[in-house]
C-alpha cells in the first residue's frame, strides 16, 4: 500500500521573544524602560509544540488525532498542510491536499462567497475552468443559494463552515485535513458532512481528523494517534488508543477530584463553621450586612451531630471519585453524635455542577428507621446502578432531625465525575429496551 503521509522526527518550536523586543510602537516605547531592569524579560525562550514525532499514514486510511488541549494536535495538522514549517525533521505528502482547519480560514470577508470559492480553489491547485465546472456542486452542497453573492462577512458561523467544507471536499483531494469544525452547523448538514466523509473512505481517500469528539473519531477513523505535550504517546487501532487515552484522562480526573476532596475535608473536620454565631450556624446563608447579598454557606447546622468524613467507594471498596455509568457506588458518612439523638435522619443530594438538582433522598424517605445514635458511627448508602450520564457532579450530605432541623449540612463540598461514552442526552439513563414489531 502506498504511503500518503510520512513524518520523520518532526519538531516544532515557537520562539517567545523578550518583552523588550515586542515594544515596536510609540506607545510601547513609552513603557519600555519599565521592563529594562528585569532579567526575565531579556531572555528568549522556546515553546515546544511538537517533539520528535514520527508517523506513517497509508493511502486510504482515516486517521484521528486526539489529546488534551495544547498537546500539539492542530500544530501537527498545520505542519502536514504546509501552513507552517517544522523546525526540524522530514515530511513527505503524496497527492493533492485540501484543508479545513478553522471556520472561514482563507476567506476574505469583504468579497463574495463566489469570489472566495475561486480564490480558494486556485490556492488548492485548481484551474479556473476546473473551479467553474465544480462551482454549482459546491454551492448546492453548501446550501447557500443567493447568499453565494453576498460578502462573506455577512455569513453566520454555520454558513462559513458549510462553504469551507464544501470547497474542501469538492476539489476532490487525495488527502483531506480537518480540524475541529464538524461540530459547527445544524444537524442536517452534519449528516451531509459525514455522508461525504464516508464516501471519501469508500473511495480510499486519506483523511486526517483532529477532534475532541471521541464518538466522531470512533465513527470515522481506522487508526488514532494520541499526542501528549507535543510527543506521540501512542499510534494504533481506534478503540485501543481511545481506551488508553480515557484511562489516563480518568486517572487525571480521579487525582483532581481526590485533591478537591482532601481540601474539602479540611472544612468538614474543622471545629468552626463558616458562620459566626449560633443562630447563623443554623442557616444556609451568611449575612453580609445591610443591603448586601447573602452568601451561600458550605456548611451549617447546630452540630449536635457532626459529620466527620464523607468517602465515595467503588464496589471493591477502593476510594474513588470518577465512575462509569452503571457502576456500583458507596457513599460512606462517618459521624459523631455529641449526645443521644433520637430518630436522626441522614440524607444525600446530587447536583450537576451547572446547578441542576439530579437526585436527593434520605433515610426517612427510604423508610430506614434509626432509633437513636450516641457517639461515633457510620452510615452508608449504596447505589447499585449509577444511572447518571457523563458530567461532573456535586454531592450534598446532611444529618437532621425529623422536623428538618439541621444538625450538620455539607453543601456541595464534594465533587465526583461520571463517564459515559454514549451520546445520550439529559441527566440519567433509565433501563430501557426497544421493541420493533407490528
Q: Retrieve residue 343's grid coordinates.
A: 430518630
Q: Which domains are seen in the chain, by residue range? A: 3-95+174-247 (3.40.50.300), 301-419 (2.70.50.60)
Contact (CB, 8 A) for 344 and 379: no
What integer pLDDT is reported at residue 146 of this predicted model?
87
What integer pLDDT is reported at residue 182 of this predicted model?
63
pLDDT at residue 41 is higher than 50: no
pTM beyond cutoff 0.75: no
Instruction: Please write the tens of the pLDDT for every residue from 217-234.
Output: 888 899 999 999 999 999
pLDDT at residue 31 is higher than 60: no
Give the residue-averaged pLDDT of 155-177. Answer: 84
Q: Does residue 259 sit in helix, strand or coil?
A: helix
Instruction: Please write the tens of the pLDDT for every residue from 128-148.
Output: 888 889 899 888 888 888 899
Instruction: Please write the tens of the pLDDT for every residue from 332-341.
Output: 999 999 999 9
Q: How many CB atoms lie within 10 A of CB 287?
A: 14
What integer pLDDT is reported at residue 16 of this predicted model?
64
**Dist CA 19 CA 21 (whole Å):** 5
Instruction: Please write the tens of the pLDDT for every residue from 52-107.
Output: 999 999 999 999 999 988 899 999 999 998 888 999 999 999 988 888 776 556 67
**Among 155, 142, 144, which Cα is nearest to 189's?**
142
Give the residue-averaged pLDDT of 404-420. Answer: 88
pLDDT at residue 256 is higher than 50: yes
**Dist CA 187 CA 192 (whole Å):** 9
Output DSSP code: residue 257.
H
Amino acid at each position: 500500500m502506498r504511503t500518503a503521509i510520512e513524518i520523520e522526527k518532526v519538531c516544532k518550536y515557537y520562539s517567545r521573544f523578550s518583552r523588550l523586543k515586542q515594544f515596536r510602537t510609540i506607545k510601547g516605547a513609552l513603557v519600555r524602560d519599565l521592563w529594562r531592569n528585569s532579567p526575565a524579560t531579556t531572555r528568549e525562550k522556546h515553546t515546544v509544540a511538537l517533539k520528535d514525532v514520527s508517523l506513517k499514514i497509508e493511502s486510504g486510511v482515516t486517521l484521528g488525532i486526539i489529546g488534551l488541549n495544547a498537546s500539539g494536535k492542530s500544530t501537527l495538522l498545520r505542519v502536514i498542510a504546509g501552513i507552517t514549517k517544522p523546525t526540524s525533521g522530514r515530511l513527505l505528502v503524496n497527492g493533492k491536499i485540501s484543508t479545513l482547519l478553522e471556520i472561514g480560514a482563507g476567506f476574505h470577508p469583504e468579497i463574495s462567497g463566489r469570489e472566495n470559492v475561486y480564490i480558494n480553489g486556485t490556492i488548492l491547485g485548481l484551474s479556473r475552468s476546473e473551479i467553474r465546472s465544480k462551482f454549482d456542486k459546491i454551492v448546492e452542497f453548501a446550501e447557500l443559494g443567493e447568499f453565494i453573492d453576498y460578502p462573506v462577512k455577512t455569513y453566520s458561523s454555520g454558513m462559513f463552515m458549510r462553504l469551507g467544507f464544501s470547497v474542501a471536499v469538492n476539489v476532490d483531494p487525495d488527502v483531506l485535513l480537518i480540524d475541529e469544525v464538524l461540530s459547527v452547523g445544524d444537524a442536517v448538514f452534519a449528516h451531509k458532512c459525514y455522508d461525504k466523509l464516508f464516501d471519501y473512505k469508500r473511495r480510499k481517500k486519506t483523511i486526517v481528523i483532529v477532534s475532541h469528539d471521541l464518538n466522531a473519531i470512533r465513527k470515522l477513523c481506522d487508526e488514532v494517534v494520541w499526542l501528549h505535550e507535543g510527543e506521540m504517546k501512542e499510534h494504533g487501532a481506534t478503540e485501543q488508543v481511545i481506551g488508553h487515552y480515557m484511562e489516563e484522562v480518568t486517572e487525571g480526573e480521579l487525582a483532581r477530584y481526590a485533591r478537591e476532596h482532601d481540601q474539602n475535608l479540611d472544612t468538614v473536620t474543622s471545629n468552626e463553621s463558616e458562620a459566626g454565631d449560633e443562630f447563623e450556624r443554623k442557616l444556609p446563608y451568611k449575612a453580609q450586612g445591610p443591603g448586601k447579598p447573602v452568601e451561600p454557606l458550605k456548611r451549617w447546622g447546630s452540630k449536635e451531630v457532626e459529620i466527620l468524613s464523607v468517602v465515595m467507594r467503588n464496589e471493591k471498596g477502593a476510594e474513588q471519585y470518577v465512575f462509569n455509568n452503571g457502576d456500583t457506588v458507596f457513599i460512606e458518612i462517618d459521624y459523631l453524635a455529641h449526645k443521644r439523638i433520637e430518630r436522626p435522619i441522614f440524607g444525600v443530594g446530587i447536583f450537576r455542577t451547572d446547578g441542576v438538582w439530579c437526585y436527593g433522598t434520605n433515610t426517612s424517605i427510604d423508610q430506614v428507621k434509626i432509633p437513636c445514635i450516641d457517639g461515633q458511627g457510620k452510615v452508608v448508602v449504596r447505589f447499585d446502578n449509577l444511572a447518571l450520564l457523563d458530567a461532573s457532579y456535586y454531592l450534598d450530605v446532611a444529618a437532621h432531625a425529623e422536623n428538618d432541623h439541621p444538625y450538620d449540612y455539607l453543601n456541595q463540598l464534594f465533587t465526583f465525575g461520571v463517564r459515559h461514552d454514549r451520546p445520550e442526552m439529559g441527566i440519567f439513563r433509565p433501563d430501557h429496551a426497544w421493541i420493533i414489531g407490528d
